[in-house]
Structures are given as structure tokens and as C-alpha cells.
Amino acid sequence: MHLPALLIRPSSDADLASISCIYAHHVKHGTGSFELEPPDLAEMSRRRTDVLAKGLPFLVASRGAEVLGFAYAGNFRPRPAFRFVAEDSVYIHAEHAGQGLGRALLCELMRQCEALGIRQMLAVIGDSANAGSIGLHRSLGFTHTGILKASGWKHDRWLDTVFMQKALGAGDSSPASELSLPNR
């Protein structure tokens, strides 16, 4: 049996139901997100619209019509001095974890962010025991930059927040150009 090729592409409105379903599973059963209740479809649509309005990528991994995972970049903080820093988010359908989808999505997300002029990519990872996400980021050159101990309470336990960082493009080796970023 031949599977359709994996496609990493910009998300569309038609992907929102799948995106919401994938994320809901992680909210309910995982510790990668510190949300306690899954957002509804309207809220996920609002969030995607916000990312796209800032000129940032919101991607999906699909095979044929099936969405297997998604990734997007967001502002790390709203203050203007942080405009060259983006935070990544990557979520994979539970049945497709461990197949390299997160790596494919994150690689393309970083490539697109670098093309936009983003100089630093941050991973803000829920749960210091989240070996999958930590390992993925480490394998792509992210370095550990800190831990906020016991910063979240979910599933009846305290969870850490892990910070990892990777320079994109010129990183901090040259001054930032105001012309290289959309208005975020």
C-alpha cells in the first residue's frame, strides 16, 4: 500500500476542525499545553487568524486530505523590542507521533521565520518530562536556556516550563534591520 506523500503547507480554513481536534487531545491528555479546557473551533479560528494577521506562518502536515499535525509561530512577547523573536508551537495527531512529522513541521516553520527576518526561535515547552518535544528541539540545534520550576498545575501535579532557543539566520551577529519584518 502506497501512502500519499507528506505535504507541509500553509493551513487553510478547511483544516481548522482537524487542528482543533489534534490540539484538544493534547490539552486533555498531555502536559505540553498548560490549557485546562480545549478551545472551541471559533477560538482556534481566532487564534489562527491572529497568527496570520501578524504575517507569521501557520502550517499543517497532511497526507492526502488528512491533517496529521500543525505548527505555527507566535510573538514571544508583545513589546516591540521582542519583534525579532518568535515562539514555536508544534502539535502532532496522537496516532502519528514519532514519525518525523514534528521535525518536518518545525524545520519548515524555522525556514519561513528566518525568511521573514526572525532572528531567534524560542520553544516554551510544558513539562520538563516532555522528552519528545525537548528531544525534537535539541535535535534541531535548540539549546536549553532555562526552567521555570513548578510553574503550572495540571493533571493534579506541578509542571515545569522549559525554555529552549535557536538563532535563525544571522542571529545576534549583526544589527537587526527594521525593513526585514512585517508589522507584528
The pTM score is 0.94
Task: List domains and CATH numbers for the chain.
Answer: 6-177 (3.40.630.30)
End-to-end CA distance of the chain: 45
- For 7, 50, 124, 184, the CA distances from 116, given in Å and listed in that order, are 21, 17, 21, 11
Q: What is the pLDDT of residues 103-148, one digit of tens each?
A: 999 999 999 999 999 999 999 999 999 999 999 999 999 999 999 9
Q: How far is Cα 92 from Cα 96, in angstroms, rounded to an integer?
A: 7
pLDDT digit string (tens) for the chain, length 184 residues: 677 899 999 999 999 999 999 999 999 999 999 999 999 999 999 999 999 999 999 999 999 999 999 999 999 999 989 999 999 999 999 999 999 999 999 999 999 999 999 999 999 999 999 999 999 999 999 999 999 999 999 999 999 999 999 999 989 988 876 545 555 5
CB count within 10 Å of CB 67 equals: 23
83 contact partners, CB below 8 Å, separation of at least 6: 75, 181, 184
**Residue reference for cell 490549557:** 35
Q: 23-44 burial string, b = 16+ CB within 10 Å, else e?
A: bbbbbeebbbbeeeebbeeeeb
Q: What is the pLDDT of residue 175?
A: 87
Which has the closest alpha carbon to 27: 19, 36, 18?
Answer: 36
One-letter amino acid of 140 = L
Would you give the DSSP letter of residue 81? G
